Structure 1
Amino acid sequence: MRKQKITHVTAITSVTTVALFTLAACGTESGSGSSAGAGSADGGGSVRTGLPLTDVHWSVDSLTVDGRKTAAPAGASVEIGTKGRASARTGCNTIGADVTVDGDTVTVGDKESTLIGCPEELRAFEKALDGAFSGKLKATVGGTEKDRRLTLTTADGDAITLTSGAPVPLAGTRWTVDALVAGATATSLPKGTEGKAYLTFGKDGSVEGSFGCNTFRGTAKVAGADAAAGSQAAATVTFGRLSSTRKLCPGPEMTLERQVQKVLEGKVTYEVHHRALTLKRADGQGLDAMAAAAGK
């Protein structure tokens, strides 16, 4: 298996605190492929392809390395933009990379990554995906327009198999908090609290969920975009008074609860990129959450 060292990584204090980087590839899923598009100043490569490959959210189905096939964890995905940038979510961290696309050849260049601490199983998959998503890859696209299939194959025969992912709506989706945000820095959740904080927006303007310990419900007014559109930028949610249970929980859960509760106060901006949600206050405090992948 071909391996490539990740470069340009910026750690803040530890492996659980990271500097997030801008990913030009994150955006709305395109209904059709992109053709010729020159590289730009904010990307390190160029795109020249007739394949329906770019500006599509590709959910990773599986990864085959040295003949061994491994199912991908929820949230694993790849996006290749038209401006010479690509991003890969591993199910825990996010990898950004310079990319050049020429026909059916995708060349992945210098990479940078967040450094959120991950469970051992996710770390193993992340390492394998990083190794496979490197160097020259042959892209094969098949299926229908609504259900496209993509295979990225290395020179050694390792392969990443992907499916075009349908975006999910803000309302009606259970969003599970997976990171806390402070400005441009994301921090992993307190140990042992993974999966405990979540929220679901109702189409009637309601919201309910868990802060990480206590459950809550209340109102949430969405403005600036259609809540069912599936991909928004700089739209807002204004939370009303949230009523909650009042049980006492272990220290880590209460720490998470206080941080999540602070984010869900008043007016915040939100962005939905396919299966990822970010909520952020005016002071830069916020959270990241993920919707479970279909069938997982």
Structure 2
Amino acid sequence: MTYLSLLGLVGTAALTACGEESGSGAAGADVPVAGVTWLPVSVTIDGKSYDAPPNSEARVVFEPGSDPAGGGKSGGTWGCNDNGMDVKIKGSTLEVTDRISTLMGCGEPLEVFERKFGAAIDGKHQVRLSDDGKTLTLTKAEGNGDRIVLSSEPRKPLVGPKWKVTGFTVTDGPKRKSREVKAAGEAFLRFTEDGGVSGNLGCNSFRAKATTAKDGTVTFGEIASTRRACMGQAGETEKLMREVLAGKAQYELGQKELSLTAGDGPSGPVLNATAE
């Protein structure tokens, strides 16, 4: 599935293709730029630098892969239009091809930055990642030093955000086959500074103590909740949430993602949530 099809925008997109062949790239492992949401900081074209407009929603993701119709798994917005594109990463070389974009008028200053960024992003680039992994610089492999500077989006902290439960990974049978279960209802969690957690289990509201440790675990206390009868998928959501919140769980944070693995290891359910 393409980036723009996820947004439901393929039907209104216009194609932009750079038409270059893939290069061999530098020796060694691929530069780890995939799986990160990158925020445009500036773009330099013909020696002139343009800063990303303040308070813009500009962001880019690079996911290697392509789609015959153009607009692969990678994309983002750097003005007011949504873009999809194919990306190849090899060593320290990143190539963008077959970019497609919606065609809304943005107005200045968004339109100027969007036009300059779009001109710079197409084609082959030499990739440089800062030592802390927070700053990414893409320099055009051919040209006069045209480049793009991006910064990584900071991870959401565990405490504070509303974590909307999107689903669970559960195991079935002696072979422990994984399956995905979509969450139902208004299931969410919110961890608080005073060592608590509250939210909704799918149909019942709840609260409990939640003690985090440096080893990446959180220990939940006894759950206090309302007592509505929960049927169907909402009932299954509540059952799985209670399993995950029973005692100690391992937690992992992405940029906007949270996973909680029940304390009984690989056989236990995994709760998946995103920050709102």
Could you state the TM-score of these two structures normalised by the residue count of structure 2?
0.49
Greater per-residue helix proportion: 2
What is the TM-score with the length of structure 1 in the denominator? Answer: 0.46
Name which one, 1 or 2, has greater alpha-carbon Rg.
2
